[in-house]
Amino acid sequence: MSSAPNGSLDYRSAGVDIDAAEDAKARIGRLVESTRTAGCLGAFGAFGGLFRAPQGTSPILVASADGVGTKIKVAIEAGRHDTIGHCLVNHCVNDILAQGATPLFFLDYVAFGVLEPAVVEGVVAGVAAGCRENGCALIGGETAEMPGLYTPPDYDLAGFIVGVVEEGQALGAERVRAGDVLIGLESSGLHTNGYSLARRIVFERMGLGVRDEFPGEDGATVAEVLLRVHRSYLAALRPVLARIHALAHITGGGLPGNLNRALPSSLDAVVDTSRWSVPNVFRVLGDAGRVDRAERFRAFNMGVGAVVVAAPADVTDVMAAAGQVGVRAWALGEVVPGAGNVRFTGEKT
């Protein structure tokens, strides 16, 4: 730690660079402005973000907060920071979509040991891209520099989203009925869960680096495969939200740890694992790490990023809506009497 010649201290000598923070703020201003929607009030840089209250017969606000886990470690190793912010927004959008809500606005939090303006710009560029994709305004956030808490080049990222759904139209387990069909929506890769295990397998067991080619991925590097953007299902489901009973976002805990959240205690979900082909990335990780079948389905999404629960009469339209935006969908199984559990049938993965 340095100090002025006379022994006096300043904030920079304590590890916090205010000039770097101002540089970062200047860099992200245009990114924030690019996400403005009709509900935005005020300008970038205020102490709080302003958003006009949504109109509706009886609107209910739905809020969620999340992070991207140790996917950040891959971004840091690869020196690529423009995708994880996008992942963060899409993850949060899917979380509130599971209640039938569409997004209104978003806030982000990025914390560094030593603030790097170019890294901040890259992260927020991804956040802004995610907000634009989902019609969601980025109305504020926080960029913190905390020397001693984070060791450079490590940083952390979190997001906070608020959306809206009309009362009476919220999705949930109480709407699910025996005989409903489970519709799986294709993931774009690992999304934002399972990275602690995936990193150990790739970097330790397989001995690969971020710039090495990932086996079976047509020349794509490890970084390209592991940093694929978490898919948003808003565009795929917005046209048919009113006809869906429930939705499970398949994140940490996989299918058994998330689909059960969309079930009442009197019903089970029976998933036929032969209905879809598990993508190469999950087979490579599972085989190289000698991960048993049950653990694969708990740690990874196995190619299914979300599961829709709908009446049999609506299955065709739900699948067609997903196909319209290039998202593959499969009828995975059905809801049957039970005790709130997820059961698997079909071929061994």
Tokens of 320: 């067609």
Instruction: Give start-end residues of each CATH 3.30.1330.10 domain in the chain.
Output: 13-166
Q: What is the largest CA-CA distance in the chain?
A: 79
What residue spans in the chain does CATH classification 3.90.650.10 cover?
Answer: 173-345
Correct CATH for 173-345 of 3.40.50.10860, 3.90.50.10, 1.10.10.10, 3.90.650.10: 3.90.650.10
Q: Look at residue 238 in the predicted model and tell me its pLDDT.
A: 97
Query: Tens of pLDDT along the chain (349 residues)?
Result: 445 556 666 556 556 566 666 776 677 777 878 888 888 777 776 677 778 888 877 899 999 999 999 999 999 999 999 999 999 999 999 999 999 999 999 999 999 999 888 999 999 999 999 999 999 999 999 999 999 899 999 999 999 999 999 999 999 999 999 999 999 999 999 999 999 999 999 999 999 999 999 999 999 999 999 999 999 999 999 999 999 999 999 999 999 999 999 999 999 999 999 999 999 999 999 999 999 999 999 999 999 999 999 999 999 999 999 999 999 999 999 999 999 999 999 865 4
Q: Which residues pair with 166 in a beta bridge?
A: 59
Please give the full DSSP string across 183-242, using - where no structure is assigned: EEEE-SSSTTSSHHHHHIIIIIIS---TTSBPTTSTT-BHHHHHTPPPPP-HHHHGGGGG
Q: Are 253 and 326 in contact (CB under 8 A)?
A: no
Which pLDDT score, from 0 to 100, does residue 20 have?
65
Topology, domain 13-166: 60s Ribosomal Protein L30; Chain: A; (3.30.1330)
